[in-house]
Amino acid sequence: MASTDLTSRPASLQVRAAKTFSLENHNSQLQTRERWEMPFGANLFEAVDCEHEGAMLRGRLLRPSHRDVRHQQGGSVLMFPGATGPSKSYELAMRELADAGYLVLDANMYGEEVDLTSVSTAGQGFADLMADPVRLRGRAIAWFERLRDMAEVDPERIAAIGYCFGGKCVLELARSGAALQMVTSFHGLLTTHAPALPGSIRARVAIWTGGEDPYAPRSDTEAVQAELDAAGADYQLTLFAKARHAFMDPDHDGFAPGIVYDRVAHRIAWAATRALLSETIDATP
């Protein structure tokens, strides 16, 4: 699909320098910072490996800062970043969820050979998976199973959140029938090679999309809504009429044409996602 071919962007494109942002746990307020801070507990990222079709994938785990998850099972969140990998605002969102008591796993969909510090290399990894949607869905399932099978995870209390390409990944998980309680797609790519079958979606689905997103045009929004209706899914689709792509991501504001951060849309979608997590998987064991 031509509208999602990020590899056509010049490799010289860099994320525009801007004031940094920090997600505050209090009412999920987004506040401007002059520098990056670590506003939450001292929890550190732990490496987690996942094998899929001969590729070794390395993700990162954040444990809740105020409970021993090795002896207690609570809610867990599987997170998928955008096509160019985790940004600082994405990592802050992970930390906010861990601080709230969730076990959080960042799923890396690319093999170890993909250098996420290079825009062109990450773009090629993205393009390769988009060209092989069966492998893409299988890899997302592999990450779900990796999290589900951890001893400290309650398999009945797992949610998934994805941004951009990651939004597509969580929707493919939902379409696969994975036993998730909730999936949230932020400005995700909405098309699929295999629409959901009637009765196949177990998760509650939340889609947050922009009315002026060139990577998810209105025709795609209408198609996914028709798909979810036909599948009998429990879903909500929120369209911010004037929002463009990456409205949740201040780090990529102006990265390419059609990519614009929207503070108001971000605050609304994030606050609602926190409420959905509380209602569906609840962090407290």
What is the pLDDT at residue 128? 96
257 class by beta-carbon count within 10 Å (0-12 exposed, 13-18 middle, 19+ buried): exposed
Q: pLDDT tens digits for 166-183?
A: 999 999 999 999 999 999
Of 235, 248, 171, 251, which Cα lies nearest the Cα of 209? 248
What is the average pLDDT across 177-205? 98
Q: pLDDT tens digits for 18-75?
A: 222 233 333 333 333 322 334 444 568 999 999 999 999 999 999 997 665 555 688 9
Q: For residues 75 and 101, is the Cβ–Cβ distance under 8 A?
A: yes
Q: Does 84 score more than 50 pLDDT?
A: yes
Model's pTM, two decimal places? 0.85
What is the pLDDT at residue 67? 60
Separation between Cα atoms, residue 189 and residue 182, nearest integer Å: 18
